[in-house]
C-alpha cells in the first residue's frame, strides 16, 4: 500500500527526465536529469525537515510543557538512541538475509538482466515484533524509555541517514551495480548528494532503496506504533479504545503492504527516482515518526471515545480498505488480461494506443478510486483523536494533497497517451477522487 506515503519524497525531489537511458562509454547505464532545485532550497529542506518534525511531535504535548528545542532540560541527542537505531538497522540487515521468502525479479538492470529482490519483509517484521515483545515481557526493555526519547531518536535517524547517504555518495561507481545519474551542468555537488546519483545501489545482496523503503520505513513505523501502545500500558495500566483503534488501523495498513511487498517494485519512485539523502532521511524519520502522529498525539493527550462512536469509524476504515483493495485488484487484473471473463461485463473505451480504458466498475465511479480508499483509511485513523487540534489530521491532509497532485500527473500522462479516448472517459466519469464533489 504505497500510493500515498511514498509520494512524500516526490514533493521534495521534483525533477524531469531530459534523455532516455544512455551509456557512459564504460558499460554503465546513465540517466540524465535536469534539476528544478537549487542549493539554497535543498539546504533549507535538509535542515527544516528534521526540525519541523521535532516541533510537530513536541506540539502534541500539553500547552504547559516547554518547547523541546528551547528547553535546556530536554535533550534532542543521546547516544542511547543512536545505539537503539543502529541495533534496529543491523537487525533488519540480518533478517534480510534469512533464507525465507520468495526472490523476485524487478526492472532490467544496466547489465541487461532483471534485478533480483528478496521479499521477506513480512517475516522480518514478525521476527522483529516477537523479539520486541520478548525483551519487553522479560523486563529488559521499557517501552516508555523509547517513546520518551522520540526527539533524540529522530536526531539519531537523521545522523544515520546522513552517514548512509555519504557512503553511497562517496562509493566508487561499479560497472554492473546500478544505473548512474548525471545532472545538467548547473547541478551542484550538494544537489547531487541530496537527490541522489545512483538508481539501484546495492550493499552486498541488499538493494539499498528496497531496504530503506520496506525495512526501515514501514517496519520502523510498525515498531514505533507497538512501542507507543506498550508505553500506554506501562503508564496507564490499560489502553484506551481510541489509541487501540488507531494502532490497529495502521498495523493493518502496514501488514497489507508487507504481504504484497512486491508492489513497491513497480512504483514510479522505485523505478524512476535515484536514491539520495532526502529519500533516506524520509525513510528513517518521516515515515516512522510523522505517519503515526495521531498515535503519538493520543499517547500525550488521551481522548476517550464511546464504543458506539467507534462503530462508524471502523466502518469508514473498512469501506476505505475494500475500495482500495478491490479497485486495485480490478485495475491490475484488467491491465494484465483484459480478455479475462471476469471483466466481460465492464464497459470500455478503445484508445488509439491499442489499449482499452475501463469506464465502469470501480473506475466508472471515480477516476482514482484507489486514492479515495487511501484517504478514507487515513481519515479513519485520525478521527479517534477528536477535534481539539489539527495536529493528528496533518498526515491525512498531506495524503490528500499528495494524491491530488499525483492524480493530476497521471491524468496529464493519460491525456498524452490516449488523447480523445481519455477526454471521453473524463466526460463520462467527471469526478477524480470524491463522487459528486471533486
Which pLDDT score is estimated for 437? 84
Residue in 199, 183, 170 with CA at minimum distance from that of residue 28: 199
CB 12 within 8 A of CB 282: yes
**Running DSSP on this structure, what letter comes out for residue 198?**
B
Which pLDDT score is estimated for 150? 94
Range 24-40 average pLDDT: 48
Assess whether 358 and 431 both reside in one domain: yes
Angle value at C-alpha 55, between 51 and 57, nearest 5 degrees: 120
Helix (H) or strand (E) holding 119: strand 114-119
Domain count, the chain: 2
Assess whether 299 and 312 both reside in one domain: no
Burial 302-339 (b: 16+ CB within 10 A, else e): bbebeeeebeebeebbeebbebbeebbebbeebeeeee
Residue 74 φ/ψ region, left for φ over 0, alpha for ψ in the -120 to 50 degree band, beta for the rest: beta
User: pLDDT band at residue 199, thresholds of 50, 70 and 90?
Assistant: confident
Residue in 407, 392, 400 with CA at minimum distance from that of residue 291: 392
CB 2 within 8 A of CB 271: no
pLDDT beyond 60 at 259: yes
**Grid cell locating 9:** 519524497
CA torsion sign for 68, 222, 275, 392 is negative
Assess whether 293 and 345 both reside in one domain: no
Biggest CA–CA distance in the chain, Å, is 67
Instruction: Please state the φ and ψ torsions of residue 374, each to the nearest 5 degrees.
Output: -60, -50
Residue in 133, 129, 345 with CA at minimum distance from that of residue 220: 129
Domain boundary at 304, 323, 353, which? 304
Range 256-278 average pLDDT: 86
Assess whether 207 and 312 both reside in one domain: no
Domain boundary at 304, 319, 336, which? 304
How far is Cα 123 from Cα 259, in angstroms, rounded to an integer?
10
Report the chain's mean pLDDT, rounded to a whole number.
83
Range 141-148 average pLDDT: 92
How far is Cα 416 from Cα 176, in angstroms, rounded to an integer?
34
Range 88-101 average pLDDT: 92
Assess whether 255 and 134 both reside in one domain: yes
Instruction: Please state the φ and ψ torsions of residue 198, each to the nearest 5 degrees.
Output: -135, 145
Q: What percent of the chain has pLDDT over 70?
A: 84
Place of cell 538492470: 109
Q: Which residue segment(s) compose the domain that 325 sits in? A: 305-438
How far is Cα 417 from Cα 175, in angstroms, rounded to an integer?
34
Assess whether 266 and 406 both reside in one domain: no
Which pLDDT score is estimated for 268? 76
How far is Cα 97 from Cα 103, in angstroms, rounded to an integer?
11
pLDDT beyond 60 at 210: yes
Assess whether 240 and 370 both reside in one domain: no
Domain boundary at 259, 288, 304, which? 304
- Mean pLDDT check: name the lowest of 75-89, 287-301, 338-352: 338-352
Assess whether 185 and 123 both reside in one domain: yes
pLDDT beyond 60 at 418: yes
User: pLDDT band at residue 34, thresholds of 50, 70 and 90?
Assistant: very low
pLDDT winner (highest mean) among 106-110, 212-216, 326-330, 421-425:
212-216
**Running DSSP on this structure, what letter comes out for residue 22?**
E
Assess whether 213 and 355 both reside in one domain: no
How far is Cα 438 from Cα 430, in angstroms, rounded to an integer?
8
* Kind of pairing between the strands at 348-350 and 356-358: antiparallel
Assess whether 297 and 326 both reside in one domain: no
Instruction: Please state the φ and ψ torsions of residue 49, each to the nearest 5 degrees.
Output: -60, -45
SS3 206: strand
How far is Cα 418 from Cα 395, in angstroms, rounded to an integer?
33
Range 14-38 average pLDDT: 42
How far is Cα 204 from Cα 252, in angstroms, rounded to an integer?
32
Assess whether 24 and 135 both reside in one domain: yes
DSSP 385-434: G-SS-SGGGHHHHHHHHHHHHHHHHHHHHHHHHHTHHHHHHHHHS--SSS
**Grid cell locating 112:** 541487461
* Kind of pairing between the strands at 29-35 and 15-17: antiparallel
Q: Where are the beta strands (DSSP E) in 151-268?
A: 180-183, 202-203, 206-207
Assess whether 118 and 140 both reside in one domain: yes
Instruction: Please state the φ and ψ torsions of residue 308, each to the nearest 5 degrees.
Output: -65, -30
Range 316-341 average pLDDT: 88
**Grid cell locating 32:** 540524465
Which pLDDT score is estimated for 26? 39
CA-derived radius of gyration, the chain: 22
Amino acid at each position: 500500500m504505497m500510493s500515498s506515503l511514498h509520494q512524500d519524497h516526490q514533493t521534495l525531489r521534483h525533477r524531469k527526465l531530459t534523455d532516455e537511458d544512455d551509456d557512459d562509454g564504460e558499460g554503465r547505464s546513465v540517466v540524465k536529469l535536469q534539476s528544478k532545485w537549487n542549493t539554497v532550497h535543498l539546504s533549507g529542506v535538509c535542515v527544516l525537515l528534521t526540525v519541523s518534525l521535532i516541533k510537530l511531535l513536541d506540539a502534541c504535548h500539553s500547552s504547559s510543557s516547554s518547547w523541546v528545542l528551547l528547553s535546556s532540560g530536554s535533550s534532542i541527542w543521546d547516544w542511547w538512541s543512536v545505539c537503539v537505531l543502529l541495533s534496529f538497522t543491523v537487525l533488519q540487515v540480518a533478517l534480510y538475509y534469512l533464507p525465507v521468502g520468495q526472490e523476485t525479479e524487478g526492472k532490467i538492470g544496466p547489465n541487461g538482466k532483471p534485478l533480483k529482490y528478496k521479499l521477506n519483509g513480512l517475516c522480518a517484521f514478525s521476527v522483529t515484533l516477537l523479539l520486541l515483545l520478548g525483551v519487553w515481557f522479560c523486563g529488559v526493555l521499557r517501552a516508555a524509555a523509547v517513546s520518551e526519547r522520540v526527539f533524540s531518536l529522530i536526531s539519531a535517524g537523521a545522523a544515520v541517514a546522513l552517514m548512509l547517504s555519504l557512503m553511497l555518495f562517496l562509493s566508487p561507481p561499479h560497472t554492473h551495480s546500478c544505473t548512474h545519474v548525471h545532472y545538467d551542468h548547473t547541478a551542484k555537488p550538494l544537489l547531487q548528494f541530496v537527490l541522489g546519483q545512483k538508481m539501484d545501489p546495492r550493499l552486498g545482496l541488499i538493494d539499498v532503496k528496497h531496504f530503506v523503503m520496506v525495512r526501515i520505513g514501514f517496519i520502523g513505523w510498525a515498531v514505533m506504533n507497538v512501542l507507543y501502545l506498550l508505553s500506554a500500558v506501562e503508564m496507564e495500566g490499560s489502553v484506551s479504545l481510541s489509541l487501540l483503534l488507531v494502532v490497529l488501523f495502521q498495523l493493518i495498513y502496514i501488514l497489507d503492504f508487507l504481504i504484497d511487498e512486491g508492489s513497491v517494485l513497480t512504483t514510479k519512485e522505485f523505478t524512476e527516482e535515484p536514491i539520495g539523502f532526502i529519500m533516506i532521511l524520509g525513510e528513517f524519520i518521516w515515515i516512522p515518526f510523522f505517519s503515526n502522529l495521531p498515535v503519538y498525539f493520543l499517547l500525550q493527550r488521551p481522548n476517550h471515545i464511546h464504543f458506539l462512536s467507534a462503530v462508524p469509524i471502523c466502518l469508514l476504515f473498512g469501506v476505505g480498505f475494500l475500495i482500495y483493495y478491490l479497485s486495485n485488484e480490478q485495475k491490475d487484473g484488467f491491465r494484465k488480461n483484459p480478455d479475462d471473463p471476469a471483466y466481460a461485463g465492464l464497459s470500455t473505451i478503445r484508445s488509439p494506443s491499442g489499449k482499452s480504458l475501463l469506464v465502469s466498475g470501480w473506475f466508472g465511479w471515480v477516476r482514482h478510486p484507489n486514492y479515495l480508499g487511501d484517504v478514507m483509511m487515513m481519515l479513519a485513523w485520525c478521527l479517534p483523536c477528536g477535534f481539539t487540534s489539527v495536529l493528528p489530521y496533518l498526515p491525512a491532509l498531506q495524503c490528500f494533497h499528495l494524491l491530488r497532485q499525483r492524480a493530476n500527473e497521471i491524468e496529464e500522462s493519460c491525456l498524452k497517451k490516449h488523447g480523445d479516448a481519455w477526454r471521453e472517459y473524463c466526460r463520462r466519469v467527471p469526478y477524480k477522487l470524491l463522487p459528486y464533489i471533486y
